[in-house]
Structures are given as structure tokens and as C-alpha cells.
Structure 1
Amino acid sequence: MNFSSWNVRGLRGDGKMRMVKDLKNKYNLSMVGLIETKRRVVTRFDVTQIWGNDGAGWEFVGSTGASWGLLLIWDEMFFDRKNCYKGDRWLCVEGILLKNRVNCAFFLVYGAHSREEKSHVWEELSYIAGLCQVPSCFIGDFNEVVNVEERKDAASLSRATKEFKLWIQDMHLVDLPLMDRKYTWFRGRSCSRIDRAMVTVDWLEVFPETRLRGGPRGLSDHCPIIVEENMMSRGPKPFRSLDSWFTHTGFLRMVREKWRGLGEMQFTDKLRALTAPLRRWHKVNFGEMDNRILKLEEEIKKVDELVGNGVYDGTMEARRRALVTCCEKWYVRKEIHWKQMSRSRHAKDMDKNTRYFHSIASARRINNRIDSLVVNGRLVRNQARIKIAIREFYKELYHQEDSPVLGFRDGLVERIEEVDSVALETLPSAEEIREAVWDCKSSKVPGS
């Protein structure tokens, strides 16, 4: 699934159509959003010139005079539009991705220039997103940066920028990092990153491998931005002990039984051997948490409907209490899980908000991902080559060269007192170990 947004200001006539068509074919795009079309009306002939065949759907916002104009084109074998919403500076299509039957929404945005107009656009987008209530992607020219580093020679953030950042936080959007370039807009010596793509948390639940890259700028003053969703194998995941496991009454009993069943093995080998049964146990007891919660909520709703129809007795009340208790338990487990995944420093001081922690964890996962790496002056995207390059780099970095054997001469090192020597060689007591572990913060590893 690849789709793109491009502010085509600076491109004219047939040259504009040709460059957009080349972009679509080169990156195998399923959807293209164009900004600054400068067309009052977009016809099927215009769309066919860009798409190259008749199997395309489209929606547009007409230009005002020789300014503005939005156009969103998609492959009808890729996306089935159900609803469409339009504003002066934005276009939203809601529908179904046909490959995996996912309900979602695409927002094509052309941000305003003044602070007041920008605030008005953000309010409109918030309202429409509330109507859709589906995984959503916001893409386009927002005419605003998020960080000082995104505008060349900028020293501080404007009031409009701060309001834009607050809007992103309030909408629980994850701003996709642009991996292969720093800026997307260029004019003379000025350059900034005002073109971006942002997705909702539930979008990343469905498409966890979503990433953003830049395309060739050509004659335009903007670079096209391309959203890709490629499932890539990144090797085995490291094992992680989850805090939520300890909320299950049978967890410690299971670990004890498996540990004893491993017999006489080296401690590290037993830990390694324990990971497989732990993964199986996790899948059985903690798999599909959202579906478990949804089923419990549906059962509670059925009980409420029966009570509303006059069916009520002690058994019904007991069942409802049991369902509520079980549902609450899963809410807590889900919150603990995403709180640990986010590793947020503010987690202790904040209200319980699973969606917040989920958003932090998703953003962290995206920012930590290495999609490309410069190796010996060349940009490498192949994951296998990236892993080899990283391994060879650290192998060379920590390589120990042969060195002469040196001895300590008298006076080179001061002698320590016998009391200090004994203290250094004394094994830590059980009380000291317990104190070090108990003082360790949750989900953290103590020092040496």
C-alpha cells in the first residue's frame, strides 16, 4: 500500500501531468493527492491524463481564482469510497481498503498561512475526524513546522507552531518521521519541512510498518512525500518480561513448574529455554486483549438489555458483577502493558490513559526503526545489508589490538588499606541484593 501527497505549485500544464504520472508509476502508488491544482473543476479527462486508465476514483476541491485547489485520486481496486467531506483547505474520503477490508479515512490538507485561519482549519479537521471514528491518515502541506530544526536558521517556535503541536497531541496523532531528507520545501536560501503525514494510533495498530519517504522535487518548490506500508522481516524480536503477566494468578506457578522441569542446566541456558513456554503461555492467556475486552463489554450490554426488559434476579446481578470485575481486570492489564511499552518518564505523574501510552510506544517504535543507512558513502535500504553493516561497525569499534603486557611498578598504584581490600572481596549478602532489587523502579534494571 503506497500513496503520496504533492504540492505541485511551480509545475505547469502538461509538465505537471507528466511528472505526477511518472511519480505514480515509479512508486506504484495506489492513491495520489495533489495540492495547488489551480483548477476550478477536475474532469475525467484530467484524471485519465494522470492515472493512465479509467479505473480511478477521485474527489476534488476547486480552486479560488488562480489559487488553491485539491485533488485526490485512487485506484478503485484499492479503495472503495463511502463518504466524502470537503472544506476550503482540506478534503476527506472515508471508505474501505479492499485488500484487507479495513475501514479508514484519508485527509488531504493544505494549511493556511495566518494563525487564525490555521486554527480554523485544525478545528474543522478535529470535527470531521470525530465523525469518521476510523483509522485515519492526515497528509499534505500543513504550512507549519513542529520543531525548530525543521526550519533552516530558525531560533524559536512561533505561537502558531505551538498551537499546531497541541492540536497533534489532542488528536493523538503520530507524526511519521521523514527518513531520507530533512526539508520538503525550498525557495532561495529558505527551506523547511512543512509537508508531512500523520496517522492515528489505531492506524498503526492495523499498519504497524507505515513509513514516510520523500520523492524527487523536480521543478516544483515542494518535494512529494510518499507513505509506504511494507511488511519487512527484521529478524527475531528480543525477549521481554511483561509487567502485566504478574496480574495473572497462575503466572508464577507456571514459571515454577517449567523451571523445575528443565532439570540441571546452566542458569543462562535455563533462562533461554524458558522463553519458548513463556511465549506460548502469553499467547494463550494474553493474546488479543482488545477482542477479549470487546466480548466482555458486549456481554455486559446483553445483561443490561435483559434487565431493561424486566428480566432480573440474583443470578443476573451476580453475572453482571462477575463480567464487570473481569472486564476491569483486562483494562488494567492493557494499561500496564502499554505503560511499559511506552517507557514514558511522565507515566507516574499522569492520569491513567492507555491511548496515550499506546501513542508513545508507537511513535518510539517508528523513530527507533532504521529503514536506510549510509554505508561507505552509499545509501542502503536492504535490511540484510544494514544488519551486516551495523554488526561490522561495532565489531571494528570494539576490536582489541595486540598490546604489550605491562606490569605495575612500585609507586605506580597506591596500596589500599586491608579493611578496604576485604570489603571489596566480600560477596554481597542476601539483604543487600534484596535492597538493590526492591529499590529498582518498575520495569527498570538496577546498576552494577
Structure 2
Amino acid sequence: MWDVMLFRMNNCYKGERWLCAERVLLKNDFHCAFCLVYGAHTRVGKLAVWEELSFIAGLCQVPICYMSDFNEVIQVEERKSQDRLTASAEDFKSWIQDIQLVDLSLNDRKFTWFRGCSCSRIDRVLVSVEWTEEFSEIWLKGEPRGLSDHYPIIVEDIIFRGSPRPFRSLDSWFTHEGFLSMVRKEWKNLGEIQFTGKLKALTVPLGRRHKVKFSDMDKKIQRFEEEIRKIDELARNKVYDGTVEARKKALVSCCKQ
């Protein structure tokens, strides 16, 4: 959202538990607002947040997208071992219906938050009806959660799938011996071509170096992610005892090294 080639900022609003950016998506001239939310933990606090978010929707007067951790569910099956909705969950469900939001479906996983034997889907994306009319092919997908309690959720739409891939780097590259000197040498050898062209050309030696120097790290990360997935599967199936907890703690310790 910081990329001025993709978005133009109109306004920005901030609350204690939310941040709203009113912007224009330049690719299709779509005026909209993105609101990142971190839900409160008490019913009174949650009601206050829902009221503030309703006010923001009225203030912006454009299609709005609320996303992130709402700290609440809207269906019984979204929280493990729950047989009825709590009062605050009913409040949340009513709020979604009252301001006519669409809850985007997440089909590749049931829960988005794990802690010990507790699992729930408290992370979601809620959009205005106009949003689904503009982006008819919109959907969600989950990414590996790593050491976080939450699975990252990606919002995708076919209209943006053909966009140029962003330039990415890893922090570990910059602390590796010889990396910066290699970059300086490669950059100098590229001559006077356009800056974006240099970045694109630089991905070749960077990819080559990563494969040589960091391939073991990639394999370790993949193994850790697979182990975390297995632990989450055990928690989903209500198989979570002291042995599984010890396995998880050992895994976290290994990942931090």
C-alpha cells in the first residue's frame, strides 16, 4: 500500500485498535478504504470497536475492506470445542449484517489462530458489497504461519495477478560475509541502465548466491513449517498433550537459533 505507483492516498484515520487508509487503486481508478483491525478482548471493548468501525465506514463513504485479527468468531465451528456462540460473537455477527459486509471465505484451512490446544478463526477479511462487484474473482488463501500464533492471510484478485513482481530481499543476506561487496560489484558492472532495469538484472546473481549459500536454510524452514502444520493438525483433532507441547517448544527453540 506504500507503493505510489499502485495507490494514491486520500486520507488516513487512526484509532486505538484500528488504522484506516482511504485510497485510490490506480490500476482501475477504484476509490476505497482499507482498515486494519485488532479486536478488543472484552465484550464492552469489542462493542466500542464495532461502533468506531461503523463510523469510519460512514465517514469514508467509499467501499471498505476490514481485515486482520477481530478476536471474535461468527460461527460455532470456528472455535474448537465450542457448542454455542457467546454474546460478543452474536454482537459481532449482528454488526457484520447491520453494515452489510461480506465475509470472504477461506477454503484452505479451518482455523487461523493456534495456541496450545486452542484453535479458532479470528482472522478474516470483511468487505462492502461494492467491493465484490468490482473484484468478482476475489478470494483468500492462507500462508505458512511460522512461529506466529496466526496464519497470514493473502487477499487475491485476478485483476492484479498480472502485476509486476516486487523486488524482495532477505535480512539474512545483509549479515552474510561478502554480500555487500558482491552487490556493489554487480551493480557497477550493470553500467548506466535504468534503475528498475538494474534491480531486475540483479535478481539473477542474488538468486544464484541464495541457492549456493542459503539452500540449507530454505530446506530447514520447509521442515519446520511442515512440523508446525503437523502440530496444528493434532490440535485440530483434539490430540494435544504434554508430549506435543514439548515438541512444539523444541521446534520454536530450533527456529530461533
TM superposition score category, shorter chain reference: 0.5 to 0.7
Find 2:102's aligned residue among 174, 177, 181. Answer: 174
Taking the TM superposition and a 5 Å limit, the aligned residue runs for 1:7-406 are 31=1, 57=2, 75-230=3-158
- Paired residue secondary structure (1:104): strand
TM-score relative to the length of structure 1: 0.35
Identity between Structure 1 and Structure 2 (%): 63
Deviation, 1:231, is: 5.1
Structure 2 SS opposite 1:212: strand
Instruction: State the one-letter code of the partner of 2:154.
Output: I
C-alpha distance in structure 1 between counterparts of 2:44 and 2:60, whole Å: 25
Segments of 5+ residues of structure 2 without an aligned counterpart are 161-257
- Which structure has more relative contact order (CA 8 Å, sep 6+)? It is 2
Cα offset for 1:230? Answer: 1.2
Q: How far apart in 1 are the matches of 2:64 and 2:5? A: 19
Q: Distance in 2 between matches of 1:194 and 1:78?
A: 29
In the aligned structure 1, how far is the partner of 2:132 from the partner of 2:11?
22
CA distance in 2, matches of 1:145, 1:152: 11
Instruction: State the distance in 1 between where 2:32 and 2:48 align.
Output: 24
RMSD: 1.2
Q: Which runs of 5+ in 1 are unaligned?
A: 1-30, 32-56, 58-74, 233-448
Larger radius of gyration: 1
Q: How many residues align?
A: 160
Q: Give secondary structure in 2 for the equivalent of 1:149.
A: helix
Against the structure 1 CA distance between its residues 231 and 76, is the aligned structure 2 distance closer, same or farther, given a 3 Å change threshold? Answer: closer
| In structure 1, C-alpha distance between the alignment counterparts of 2:159 and 2:5, rounded to whole Å | 20
Extract structure 1 runs of 4+ deviating beyond 3 A: none
2:34 maps to amino acid: F
Secondary structure at 1:202 match in 2: helix
Quick one: which amino acid aligns to residue 104 of structure 2? L
Letter of the 2:80 counterpart: K
TM-score, reference length from structure 2: 0.61
For residues 121 and 102 of structure 1, the distance between their equivalents in structure 2, rounded to whole angstroms, comes to 26
CA drift of 1:111 comes to: 0.2
One-letter amino acid of the structure 2 residue matched with residue 108 of structure 1: L
